[in-house]
Amino acid sequence: MADPSFDVVSKVDRQEVDNALNQASKELGTRFDFRGTNTTVAWSGEEAISFTSETEERCKAAIDVFQEKLVKRGISMKAFEIGEPAVSGKVFKVTGSLVQGISSEKAKQIAKKIRDEGPKGVQAQIQGDQLRVTGKKKDHLQEVISLLKGSDFGIALQFTNYR
């Protein structure tokens, strides 16, 4: 029988992000402080979200509204990168993007952390944009999960495929 294992991934549920975006858009349309500012939030590509407004303050406020909706839906702020509002003609525009997958650099950091501080007999293998962690005992794997949850790698981590 194979050793117990789990995968460390960094993925965002696109449907939850879409729901948060729709809620934020609806709130921007109904709130009094956004009336007359032509503030919008919408998808601009597969993984990018754009915010537009006539003033920089309203643009930043729209970002805050969207981030609040993401948090309520259980999506980590580490999974959403946003720039600074820039003037584009008469409106302020800013684009944010969803961070999907673990870069090879981050994967190496995570694997090194597991190797250095994790229990003996636990291995981490980089498989594309995720890590597979295997060990002899399930208790050791749970220790690794708590070790990774206590560490900050700058990305949102999820633990899936636990066997």
Question: Would you write out the chain's pLDDT as a tens digit for each of its 163 residues?
Answer: 578 999 999 999 999 999 999 999 999 999 999 988 899 999 998 889 999 999 999 999 999 999 999 999 999 999 999 988 889 888 999 999 998 889 899 999 999 999 999 888 899 999 989 999 999 999 999 999 999 999 988 898 999 988 8
Determine the Cα–Cα distance for residues 133 and 127; give it in Å rounded to an integer: 10
Closest listed residue to residue 83, CA positions, set 49, 57, 55: 49
What are the residue ranges of CATH 3.30.70.990 in the chain? 14-98
What is the DSSP secondary structure assignment for residue 119, as one 8-state letter?
P
Type of residue at 47: E
**CA 149 to centroid of chain Cα atoms:** 15
Domain 5-11+102-160 fold = Alpha-Beta Plaits (3.30.70)
Tell me the pTM. 0.84
Architecture per CATH, 14-98:
2-Layer Sandwich (3.30)
